[in-house]
Amino acid sequence: MAVRQLTQTLSSCETTTSKRGYEYDLVIVGGGIVGLTLACALKDSGLSVLLIEATRESAAVAKGQAYAVHMLSALIYEGIGVWDKILPQIATYRHVRMSDADYPQVVEFETTDIGKEDLGYVAEHYTLLYPLQEFVKGCPNITYLCPAEVVNTDYQKDVVAIDIKVAGEQRTLRSKLLVAADGSRSRIREAAGIKTHGWKYWQSCIVAFVKPEKSHNNTAYEKFWPSGPFAILPLPGNRCRIVWTAPHEEAKALCALDDQQFLTELTKRYGNQMGKLELLGDRFIFPVQLMQSNKYSQHRLALIGDAAHSCHPVGGQGLNLGIRDAAALAQTITQAYQDGEDIGKIQVLKRYERWRKLENLTILGLTDVLDRVFSNNFLPIKLVRRFSLFLMQRIPVLKVFALKLMIGLLGRTPKIAEKSVAV
Cβ neighbourhood burial of 266 (10 Å; 0-12, 13-18, 19+): buried
Are 157 and 174 contacting, i.e. CB atoms less than 8 angstroms apart? no
What are the φ and ψ backbone dihedral angles of 32, each rounded to 5 degrees?
Answer: -80, -165
Instruction: Give, in order, the Cα–Cα distances in Å from 401 to each of 17, 100, 119, 271.
Output: 51, 19, 14, 28
Domains of the chain: 3-197+290-418 (3.50.50.60)
Are 221 and 229 contacting, i.e. CB atoms less than 8 angstroms apart? no
Report the SS3 class of residue 164: strand
For residue 61, the model assigns a pLDDT of 66
- Give the count of alpha carbons within 13 A of 192, CB side only: 28
83-112 pLDDT per residue, tens: 999 999 999 999 999 999 888 889 999 999
Give me the sign of the Cα torsion angle 294, 299, 301, 302. positive
Are 299 and 29 contacting, i.e. CB atoms less than 8 angstroms apart? no
Q: What is the total residue count of the chain?
A: 423
Neighbouring CB atoms inside 10 A of 165's CB total 16
What b/e readout covers 309-319, taking b as 16+ CB neighbours within 10 angstroms? Answer: bbbbbbbbbbb
Peptide bond into 226 cis (omega under 30): no
Pairing mode of beta strands 160-166, 309-310: unpaired
Cβ neighbourhood burial of 352 (10 Å; 0-12, 13-18, 19+): buried
Q: Tens digit of pLDDT per residue, the chain (423 long)?
A: 444 455 455 445 444 454 467 899 999 999 999 999 999 999 999 999 999 999 876 665 666 789 999 999 999 999 999 999 999 999 999 999 999 988 888 999 999 999 999 999 999 999 999 999 999 999 999 999 989 999 999 999 999 999 999 988 999 999 999 999 999 999 999 999 999 999 999 999 999 999 999 999 999 999 999 999 999 999 999 999 999 999 999 999 999 999 999 999 999 998 888 999 999 999 999 999 999 999 999 999 999 999 999 999 999 999 999 999 999 999 999 999 999 999 999 999 999 999 999 999 999 999 999 999 999 889 999 999 999 999 999 999 999 999 999 899 998 999 999 865 544
For residue 2, the model assigns a pLDDT of 43
For residue 59, the model assigns a pLDDT of 61
In angstroms, rounded to a whole number, what is the distance separating the alpha carbons of residues 313 and 288? Answer: 8
Are 333 and 47 contacting, i.e. CB atoms less than 8 angstroms apart? yes
269-280 pLDDT per residue, tens: 988 889 999 999
